[in-house]
Amino acid sequence: MKRHKIALIDIGSNSVRLVIHDIQKEYTYKEIQDIKMPIRLYQYLDEYGNLSQIGIDELIKTLRIFEDIIKLYRPKKTIATATAVIRQARNSSDVLKELEQRSNFKIRLLSEKEEAAYGQYAVSHLTTFEEAYTVDMGGGSTEVTYYRGNELIHSHSFPFGVVRLMEMFFQGKEPGDLEAMAACERYVKLQFKTQDWIHARNVPIVAMGGSSRNMASVHQRMVNYPITGLHGYSMTVENIKSTKFFLAAKSLKQLRDLDGLSRDRADIIIPATITFQALTETTSAERMYFVKEGLREGLLINMINAEVPETYPVSGIRKTSIARLLVNYGIDPENAKQRLKRVRLFQDLMIRAGLVIPSEQLNDYLYYASMLYLAGSYIEADDSSMHTFYLLANSNISGFKHRDRIIIALLASYKNKSLFNQYLTPFHDWFEDSEIELILKAGNLVRFCDALNVIPMNKIEKAELLKEGAKYRLRIKWSLTPYGELSRAERQKKKIEYILGKKVILDFYN
């Protein structure tokens, strides 16, 4: 597959966006340009529901700017879509014709069902939620879906978005006006009740779009959250309520200057927060999760999967994400696989000796750590542990929540217990003591096995773990004389002794 670029234009009610992706090896996609023009097309709908000529001209002006930018990147393909504001305009056919005549883009008008389905497609293929509600709140509409597995079971496009709610209830008022907030909440809850499938199911809500991410960004700053990134972050209904009250206590000017909140969303963030609270309460969802993916990513990976099926499978997104990180961080996959093979060998020895209890959780930990061990070396070999922890803890990794990311970062950066404790300090309350101990053991095992990766062609032909009184003997037969392997293993012997709880004699031969 030749490396190429794809450009996506998303004409929404609140903003018009151009995103250009670099499609790399194994169909990994990397965002290389993202330009948002907050022109709020919804405000150009006249009293008859037509998009005015002023609005059309504003959109054409934006598309021509995008056209010049796209020429610089020379993408293989450009996909332009329009959603609620064009869909709801009574003159939508005339608008689309004029857009195509005055720009070089063929605009695809997505139906309500298509818009909801592409968002759900992104969530089901790029997260581990097997069953969930999704919500994508735009400027003129709000898409809610319910899916199970890869099947979209229910979807509905509600005729309100953040701009529409602001105009209906907050026009000429302060954002925190109590009467406006109460009226907005009543309206939104009544809208959700029109769909009898939106009810308590004991499943999470996955939120897409800028409104949800801005709410989450504000909450992270409220609680002094220790890592960056919104993808995989979650909030309870109480968190959403506290954020709403925090925002409502501020004037519009204060909201425009608020850290974590985009200036162009200052007047619409409270209607958004009210909507997310209402949906969370209506569904009795324990948590709302936030993802970076949405309509545009759904379109992109749907196109990739059509070209190469199962590139982004419904199941297995975690291993797919890890494989793509190997490419991004320049990790030798063969070296990583050999490390994993040796980790599995020693894990099996310990299980057979009754020293380690078989666990799917431990299997996963060892896999992530083995494949990404000291990934930060690509930045700098010195301080590779520190670089690895920071890099993985603060990367948006599809399929992983924030707690998962910290586990991966702790494992892949493991060198010694003191560094481990230093990295763990801000997150200690996230884990039970038993889980911390499991992560420690997994990290020690990977660190020891990495020490055995000296000469790639020197294979382990046989390995035994023998109990000798109060000690263990680790006998390993190598295909070549293991001078380097023994020297490095002796330096890391304490790692294996920590796991076994006893002294270990290393017996390497060939």
Backbone torsions φ then ψ of 90, nearest 5 degrees: -65, -25
Whole-number percent of the chain with pLDDT over 90:
86
**What order of strands is seen across the sheet that includes strand 131-137?**
151-158, 142-148, 131-137, 205-208, 288-290, 234-235
pLDDT at 311: 83
The per-residue pLDDT for 229 is 92
Place of tokens 């958004």: 272
Question: Token digits for 66?
Answer: 């995008």
Q: What is the overall mean pLDDT for the chain?
A: 94
Element (H, E) at 248: helix 237-248
In contact, 148 and 133? CB cutoff 8 Å: no
Please give the angle made by the CA atoms of 259, 244 and 160, to the nearest 5 degrees.
105
First to last CA, the chain: 43
Q: pLDDT tens digits for 365-422?
A: 999 999 999 999 989 888 999 999 999 999 989 899 999 999 999 999 999 999 999 9
pLDDT at residue 115 in the model: 93
Least confident of 53-67, 305-319, 353-367: 305-319
Confidence of residue 355 (pLDDT cuts 50, 70, 90): confident
The pLDDT, as a whole number, for residue 316 is: 77
Tell whether the model's pLDDT for residue 47 goes beyond 70.
yes
* % of residues, the chain, pLDDT over 70: 99
For the CA atoms of the chain, what is the radius of gyration? 27
Q: What pLDDT sits at residue 1?
A: 62
Task: Specify the pLDDT at position 315.
Answer: 72
What span, in angstroms and rounded, lies between the C-alpha atoms of 411 and 161?
A: 42
User: Which segment of 194-198, 221-225, 354-358 scores lowest on mean pLDDT?
Assistant: 354-358
Say whether pTM exceeds 0.75.
yes
pLDDT above 90 (res 155): yes
pLDDT reported for residue 3: 86
Of 114, 107, 93, 135, nearest in space to 8 by CA: 107
Domains of the chain: 4-110 (3.30.420.40), 113-295 (3.30.420.150), 317-509 (1.10.3210.10)
pLDDT at position 27 is 72
Q: Give the bridge partners for 468, in sequence order.
A: 471
Instruction: Look up tokens 């309460």; give the residue.
Output: 281
Q: CA–CA separation, 409 vs 411, rounded Å?
A: 5
